[in-house]
Structure 1
């Protein structure tokens, strides 16, 4: 009987990232997938800044950026004219090392992650299906069916369902998956164009009945189109093709399609389970929550689930954490998923709902409001923070405590430029660490040394103050680079109490 620390069911981006982070922390991983290979088509196009920051921990960010296509400008069109423009180069560089949207189609992204899996000595067991699983209290016993049809019983300390919206793991837990399906029929198409004058910029176009997203990628005039299909076209055609969808927005932007590489239609859903954890079994990614395509949040959120869960599982497997860590996974990620579903639902309904009121809002109100808002640096930065997921905070969750400056426990560590680099360099170590911007106390130095916790000291400067950090404060960072505990004067007692509570 095969045994592993963690059995991962599902080898999409969520499962692959989970496997990589666990393996990097010394956890024995087994990953299975009932499909015969990685996805060959995709709808997810964007990797956001927060995901790239997490990839930097694993030394993968540079390769992903090199393989993808950074887009630093987003344009909004309505009624055939460009109404608003946001250039992330104006402000994003003070927020993150990755001040752009990275266009990297999901099929290429999955292929990259599979290559990383192989490079690290892991094997994805393809054509292998989970039939049933039982949590016996101290482990999970799972029955699998392999490529040749034979069954196998294996055990794992923990099991994670990263097996998509139709998750076998979630169904086995009996968890709900409440939500609904949007009425709008969407299409996705990979096309080649006669002349690409967009310079890699992303475009969002509205008219009274349609919306269209344009993602240029590659150097050969290739574009990914995501748009809505008019209801009358659906009624008139049994099987839609690219000629059936509205091309008015394409023509208005000066896009002439010369070749269609791929076309598909689909309906989007918004659903969420009531439990991300039950005993030793966890859910992550689309198995736990699915969203509208607004903002390109779905895949990035699943990757965020994986990283959040990985360090907590690793801590418990390695005897360096208790059940409070595992309980916090649901508290932190369910709260974010709930908020995300609500906000993307509102945005998607505004973009896709039919009717004169929604058409008027799309083509007149939203572009004019956006033009005014984008004129304010604070509004542009706030929008980028939200879409890029760098604004995600767990300050209301169970693992965040203390405040120093404007940074609280549970917040993402603010990014700061320093002479010769930045303060994110030490985050490559997936471990607890303490940051001090200024001078640490002698007691803090001794406390870190006694507990083998790395202490990183940075010279105080204007950039630190602008980022909201406090001089000489101690910031205890979790392995996923969020602040766990913030102590204004660097006192060690709150830090020790925090770690003791978590069994670290």
Structure 2
């Protein structure tokens, strides 16, 4: 939600769903997260897709529906993508860079010769969108008893998403789903089937835990499920994938504009691969804790979890980890302690918030409100950096990347040293020359 807020999309998405301050899967309280969005937003995925599609098209992106990428080949100057049209006709497209966001069975990843090591975490998960004649009073509703798991999530429009797993009846992904089996599993796991009826969609899938060893090969990159897949436990998939894209996009833009060296693109894998690995471990541990506990011990499991989560620091750590707000990236030796951390959405002296300033898709330099003279001394970076003043008293100057992470910070320096340090930081992160006119790169 914060990444969408930095692009002006979050408020519109909020109107489409239901906010829940508790992550029911683990009963983790999110209401105290240091964010404008201290909750889970439950909304059908097509609402998120619609907003992203609209934004892409507004920035001139061409969407080739029904076309399939069948392979990629690269050389020192670009990448050729083989494409098959809906009528079977084949063509080749050439690009400076290619980003494979083509899911678990990624053609881009296979073309690079990259393995996808891992294992199946759970098989034969059933999904259904249904109506409920007797909906639960406090949705979302989650239950697990060792041989059955079910969760019921409202969409807010009288439709509910049901996910169910039945240890007693494993089936392949292409086996048809019977609503009666989902009802039976819900009764075992939740104590009620809530009178499910009129399904509009039924499906079955399995969940893997896999990660590509590399996210970059030359001019080709992997993001999202093409780079990593994991169980749905904790609901971390969409957050992780969108942050992959946010991390990579500004770096591609900077390199194409000639404002950064190619080595900046290596930091995408260096920063995001450890995050993907952590999410795989966390989601896998959560899933196994729910699905592998013997039925006789489920009560002990639930009691122990509730007891542990009553410890404030444990609850805070889990909320930060599950939400992704505690993600930080390794910074250079000797860097300020804030470098690499998520930037909080601080208020600015002009009445805006930091994430509103980020909507210009540039770096944002936040300076103390008593040092406006700094703006004129670093004016050569005005195309790449917006300079704003923090509201309230602070001695820190903070350079925020377009993906809302802190690139550099300095505090308690003399005015002369602060100016010198700021100029060095801007040269390191934003380049020394103006942006190339007519650059094709655009961070959307």
TM-score bracket relative to the smaller structure? 0.7 to 0.9
* Residue of structure 1 in register with 2:78 after alignment: 139
Report how far residue 333 of structure 1 moved.
0.9
Q: Deviations 1:377-401 (Å, cap 9, x if unpaired)?
A: 444333322222111111x156x97
Report how far residue 342 of structure 1 moved.
1.3
Deviates more, 1:303-312 or 1:123-132: 123-132
Q: Deviations 1:176-229 (Å, cap 9, x if unpaired)?
A: 111111244311111211133535x42322223222222112242x21111221
Alignment match of 2:66 (pick from 127, 134, 141): 127
Report how far residue 474 of structure 1 moved.
1.1
* CA root-mean-square deviation: 2.8
Q: Distance in 1 between matches of 2:241 and 2:27?
A: 29
Structure 2, unaligned runs of 5 or more = 432-444
* Residue of structure 1 in register with 2:116 after alignment: 177
Asked whether the equivalents of residues 322 and 503 of structure 1 are also in contact (C-alpha less than 8 Å), the reply is no
Determine if the alignment matches structure 1 residue 459 to structure 2 residue 394: no
Q: TM-score, normalised by structure 1?
A: 0.76
Q: Distance in 2 between matches of 1:223 and 1:414?
A: 34
Q: Deviations 1:297-349 (Å, cap 9, x if unpaired)?
A: 12221111111111000111111111121110110111110111111111111
Asked whether the equivalents of residues 438 and 472 of structure 1 are also in contact (C-alpha less than 8 Å), the reply is no
Asked whether the equivalents of residues 211 and 352 of structure 1 are also in contact (C-alpha less than 8 Å), the reply is yes
Alignment match of 2:269 (pick from 327, 330, 333): 330
Q: Distance in 1 between matches of 2:369 and 2:77?
A: 45
Q: Distance in 1 between matches of 2:192 and 2:22?
A: 15
Q: Distance in 1 between matches of 2:326 and 2:110?
A: 32
Q: Distance in 1 between matches of 2:409 and 2:307?
A: 37
Asked whether the equivalents of residues 127 and 163 of structure 2 are also in contact (C-alpha less than 8 Å), the reply is yes
* Cα gap change, 1:432 to 1:192, in 2 (>3 Å): same
Q: Deviations 1:255-294 (Å, cap 9, x if unpaired)?
A: 3323323222211001111111111111111111111111
Structure 1, unaligned runs of 5 or more = 1-51, 77-83, 462-470
Q: Distance in 1 between matches of 2:167 and 2:24?
A: 23
5 Å matches for 1:68-79?
A: 68-75=17-24
Q: TM-score, normalised by structure 2?
A: 0.85
* Residue of structure 2 in register with 1:223 after alignment: 160
Report how far residue 145 of structure 1 moved.
2.4
Asked whether the equivalents of residues 448 and 454 of structure 1 are also in contact (C-alpha less than 8 Å), the reply is no
Asked whether the equivalents of residues 448 and 455 of structure 1 are also in contact (C-alpha less than 8 Å), the reply is no
Q: Distance in 2 between matches of 1:498 and 1:120?
A: 30
* Cα gap change, 1:254 to 1:87, in 2 (>3 Å): farther
Report how far residue 102 of structure 1 moved.
0.9
5 Å matches for 1:405-444?
A: 408-416=338-346, 422-437=353-368, 439-440=370-371, 442=373, 444=374
Q: Deviations 1:363-386 (Å, cap 9, x if unpaired)?
A: 312x22332344344443333222
